[in-house]
Every structure is written in structure tokens, then in C-alpha cells.
Amino acid sequence: MSQSPGDGAEADPLASWNDGRAKTAIVDFVARVTKAGGLDYVVPEKRIATFDNDGTLWVEQPYPSQIAFALDRVRAMAPQHPEWQGKEPFKSVLAGDVKSIFGGGLRALIEIVIATHSGMTTDEFEAEARAWIATTRHPKTNKLFTEMVFQPMLELLAYLRTNGFKTFIVSGGGIEFMRTFAELTYGVPPEQVIGSSGKLKFEIRDGEPVLTKLLEIDLIDDNVEKPAAIQKHIGRRPIAAFGNSDGDLEMLQWTTAGKGARFAMLVHHTDAAREWAYDRNAGIAKLDRAIDEANAKGWTVVDMKNDWRRVFP
Amino acid sequence: MSQSPGDGAEADPLASWNDGRAKTAIVDFVARVTKAGGLDYVVPEKRIATFDNDGTLWVEQPYPSQIAFALDRVRAMAPQHPEWQGKEPFKSVLAGDVKSIFGGGLRALIEIVIATHSGMTTDEFEAEARAWIATTRHPKTNKLFTEMVFQPMLELLAYLRTNGFKTFIVSGGGIEFMRTFAELTYGVPPEQVIGSSGKLKFEIRDGEPVLTKLLEIDLIDDNVEKPAAIQKHIGRRPIAAFGNSDGDLEMLQWTTAGKGARFAMLVHHTDAAREWAYDRNAGIAKLDRAIDEANAKGWTVVDMKNDWRRVFP
């Protein structure tokens, strides 16, 4: 935490949060689990917090940035795939027909992601993704994608870590894609990023061991798979979980069903002026059953428009 | 590091290692990668070290302790499985016929492990495994299994961590079994334990979310799967890796093929008096191709008999 020189008071670590129920709930929870000798005290090694990524830590509209990356990869890889010229959904991508691409639904998008995220080594993929994320701009705002992150959530991540939490990302996004920026952007190292993945094949190629990314899906890290992935990777139940859509519901259920103090939060996108406003009819980003359960169970729901003083850094 | 009071000198953090090539190689490597401004300097967040478990951190003879656990579980679960009375390999287990069990080879052992590690929730399994590991004794020495760990390796884990390394276990052993003791015994928290696993199913049971352990195998974390599992869980190539059998070879190849200073080590069991002596003909614990490659490439091979002053704590 930084300190204003001379005044003796610490700066507010959650300065981009307006005073209100959401901020109070966060601060109260952290105070309870960190108060030595208190009833709700949690030892530091059990202070596990998990965060969804798309729509929770950064913008996911008009479509998740990994989709933008995959579409760019279709164009870059097209010379090696002449068959794509006559085959959907690739044909629509190459024709720049965005409406048809998204008309194909989640199935078409997954097909595009898999095709563009396999057939190379993990090192090759990482180099491509790093170059893309360092230079590509959001279609609406013309900012870098890594500038389209939510300042209040960056403060929350740092605030939790300052209070002894270990912060993890648990997202439907591709694990290797997210790892190319999560450390620099969020302060979350690769080993604390959990996401969707394909199978890997180890082989010795020209005397060098490589891991090749296969077409076969290993995990779609969403819904019921989020608690399972948390158990696999972390092996401990989180005490706090943060999401924004129905895909996060099971993670929040799993987190809050543990013993002792628990915290669950949903980011509700209510700010059409500064970001986007969407919920029950948002397709893959739908927030419907989860907000009903949040209201029924008293989980914290962030009203972006009113709870966030600032949205972007 | 502890200090002897009064003498002003630091105690040797590797006191159970005899002076010799292995100890010197470890200390030299750590000095190179931690020397700020040095050619081989590695920033702390990239100081990833991976350790096999069975035969590397603790005893794996006459058979891995997880097999002992599984055999005990067959006996405990037999009343719920009347069909086991007439079905191999369970029939031999219930008859106490150890020779026949191991005569069935790895396939029979895996069948026993899967059958005894599924059909319950993760919380139920953890409770059973914790109770077992806290009370069960090694068949030859009558010590607790967690006392059959290698003191020089405990010192090595601590020494690396003192020097800014993050230590991971990457083992063919069951991930949830190992996590019940790895933190207390090795100082390795659950999220840094990688191992074999079955599929998990999230469901709401009597209003409570649970993760049920299924019969289906998700990963056998051995051989070529070790580098793949490292990529999945850690997302960074280790700079140091430690094993003892051919199942660790690909992990050592993957580790040493990265750029910059790298360290690979094999524990060679050469001490029939204090532990066991075995290598090329040791069945599932075979050390054959890996020791040839270690010798060819100059990896460090620990001669347990001569390099270790003490074997157990």
C-alpha cells in the first residue's frame, strides 16, 4: 500500500470503489478472516481467492478478446489451410462476415478456437499470443486489450494479496492464452491461472523435446467444471470467489458451502455509458440463475454503475 | 536457516549431505542462478523446481505406500463389495496373498487403486487418507510412512525455498493422496502438488455441493505425461528437476532443454544397508534409460550410500 507523504494516513487500497454495500462487504470479510484470535480467523495458507476473467477482470464485449485473437489467427493461418476457403465457420471469418460467425453460436466459436490453438508447440503458441496481446486493440475503444481491465478489480486483487490471500484465475478462457498477460496485468503468476485447455503431446523433435498442442479438448473450464478444476489445481476450497455470469455459479456454490467465513461476489454490468449493460439475455455471458441465487443467499452483487468510481485504469 | 548460538557461523543447510560432487553441484547451481548481475541469474518467479515423490522424497520399497493404502482400503470397503470375494485382484488382497497381487503387475495395482479411490466425495476421501497416513506404519521398519522420508531431500527442499525457489511435487502418485501429507511433511502446499488423478463430478447432494470421485482416469502422471502436466499446472518450464526412475526421464529432458542454467538430478538407490539398493531391474521403479542419459549428459546422480550422511530424519 502506498502512503501519502507527510499526512501519516494510508491511501485507500480500494480507491476506485464508491462507499457502499459492496465495498463494505469486501472490507468486512477481509477484516474478519485476518483478525488473529477472531472467531473467523483463517490462516494465510488457506486464504484462497478465485476470480473468473472475462467480464470479471476485463471487458468481454462485444465478444471475448480470445475470440478476437482466434479470428486473427484464422486469417494468419489461412495460407496453410486452403480448405478453410470453402468451409464454415472459417469461410465467414475470411470473408469478414462477423454476423455469420456469431450466428453459428458457441459451437462455431469453439471450433475456431480449437483450430487456431493447436498444431503448434506450446512455445510457438506462447510467442504468437504474446505478440498479439502486446499490439492488438479493442474494436470499439481502440485501447489495448490489457488496458480494458477493471481498475476496481485490480485494486481488489492487490488488496487481497496484501492481506495474505493467494489469488487465482479460474476462467473458461484458454489457460495458455491468459498466462501470456495475467502476471503483468493482474499480478497472477502462470501457476495460479486455471483455464480451458487442449491435450498436449510430448515428443522429441530434431533432438529437442517439445509439447505439441493437439486438437483434442482436455477441459472446458466453465460451470460444473470450475469446482472440479479448482480441486485439481488448488486442492483447497477457496474462501472467496468472484464472477459475473452463470458460468461462475457452481464455483460460488462450492466456495460458499465450505465451513467458516466465505465470500461470493458477482460483477453486474449495469453501466452502458462507461462499459456495457447486460445480464439475462447476454448469450454466453448470461447472468440469470446466478444473480437470482446471489440475491437469495445474500452474496455481494456489484452494481458497476454505482459501485465503481472508475472503470478502467 | 538455523544458527548455532554463540559461534556466529550459519549451520550447513545441507548437513545430511556428504561433501562430494552431488552436494557441490547443487550449491554451485543455486549460487549461479541467485547471483544478482551474474550471467546465469534467474528472477525468483522463474525459480521453479519439480520433485518426483516415490523413491525421490520418500521410500518406495517394498512397494509404494499408496499401494499399502489401497490394499487397506480394499479390506475396509469389502463389506460394501461382496463381488470382490470372487474377483481378482481383490480376492488375493482379501486372502492376504501379496505374491499374487504383485504377480498381476501394474495393471492389477492400478485396478486396485482406482476401485479404492472412487465412489466417494473428495472430502470423504481426504478424511480417510488423512486418518490412514497419520497412523499406519511401514511393513518393514514399523515407522510411520511420513517418517520414511529422506532427510537430505527435506534439507534440499528447504534450501531451494530459502533461495527463492518455488518447489513442486510432480509424481505418478495420486494427487489427493499426496496432498494429505505434502504440506506438513515436505512444506509443499496442495496447489504445488501435481499427480495422477481421476475425473470428478460436481453435483448438489441433499442441498450440499459435492465433488464425487469417478472411476474414470483423468491422468497417469508419469513419463511423457510429466512435462504435459507441468505445462498444465505450472505453465512455466522448471529450471531444476529431481527424480529417481525412468518415469522421470521426460521431466528431466524437458527441464534441461530450456535456455539458461538448468539442473537435473537422479537419486540412485545404492544403499541396501540403510535403505534399499535397486536400479535397472526394479519393475515400476526401474532406473535404466534415465541413468544412461544422466551419465551421457552430465546430470547429477546421487549415490545414496556415499552422498548421504544420514538417510532418515
Query: Which residue in B48, B191, B253 is closest to A233 by CB distance?
Result: B191
Residues of B in contact with A46 (CB under 8 A): none
pLDDT top residue among A2 and A47: A47
C-alpha cell at B169: 511435487
DSSP conformation class of B147? G
| Lowest mean per-residue pLDDT among A35-44, B6-15, B191-200 | B6-15
Cβ distance of B232 and A200 shorter than 8 Å:
yes
Work out the percent of chain A whose per-residue pLDDT is above 90: 90
Which candidate, B298, B290, B303, B195, places its Cα nearest to that of B245? Answer: B290
For residue B198, the distance in angstroms to the closest alpha carbon of chain A comes to 10
Contacts of B224 in chain A (CB under 8 A): 201-203
Average pLDDT over residues A81-96: 94
pLDDT at position A6: 47
| Chain B residues touching residue A203 (CB < 8 angstroms) | 224
Q: What is the pLDDT of residues A51-81, one digit of tens each?
A: 999 999 999 999 899 999 999 999 999 999 9
Q: How confident is residue A99, by pLDDT bands cut at 50, 70 and 90?
A: confident
- Say whether A200 and B45 touch across the interface (CB within 8 A): no
Q: Answer whether A233 sits within 8 Å of B233, measured CB to CB.
A: yes
pLDDT of residue B66: 94
**Per-residue pLDDT for B22 more than 60?**
yes
Counting one residue from chain A and one from chain B, the pairs whose CB atoms sit within 8 A come to 94
What pLDDT digit, counting tens, does each position of B88-99 carry? 999 999 999 988
Dump pLDDT digits (tens) for A185-205: 999 999 999 999 999 999 999
Chain B residue numbers touching A231 (CB-CB < 8 A) = 122, 200, 211
Q: How far apart are CA A145 and CA B24, in angstroms?
A: 47
Confidence check: pLDDT of A158 > 70: yes
Comparing CB atoms, the residue among A209, A232, A253 nearest residue B209 is: A253
- Distance of residue B264 Cα from the nearest chain A Cα, in angstroms: 15
Bridge partners, B204 (sequence order) = B209
The one-letter amino acid code at A215 reads L
Residue A36, pLDDT above cutoff 90: yes
Nearest Cα residue to B241 out of B159, B155, B168? B168
Task: Determine, for residues A254 and B227 on separate chains, whether the beta-carbon distance falls below 8 Å.
Answer: no
- CB contact set of A4 (below 8 Å; sequence gap of 6+): A11
ipTM of the assembly? 0.94
Angle at B110 between CA A231 and CA A202, to 5 degrees: 70
Instruction: Give pLDDT tens digits for B121-150.
Output: 999 999 999 999 999 999 999 999 999 999
pLDDT at B1: 42
Question: In this model, does residue A1 exceed pLDDT 70?
Answer: no
Nearest to B254 among A45, A175, A209 (CB): A209
Q: Of the candidates B189, B191, B231, which has its C-beta nearest A211's C-beta?
A: B231
* Whole-number pLDDT of residue A242: 98
Report the range of poorest mean pLDDT among A229-238, A293-302, B243-252, B275-284: B275-284
Q: What is the DSSP string of A230-261?
A: HHHHT-S--SEEEESSGGGHHHHHHHHTSSS-
Specify which residues A205 forms β-bridges with. A208
Chain A interface, best mutation among B46, B201, B232, B251, by max A CB count within 10 A: B232
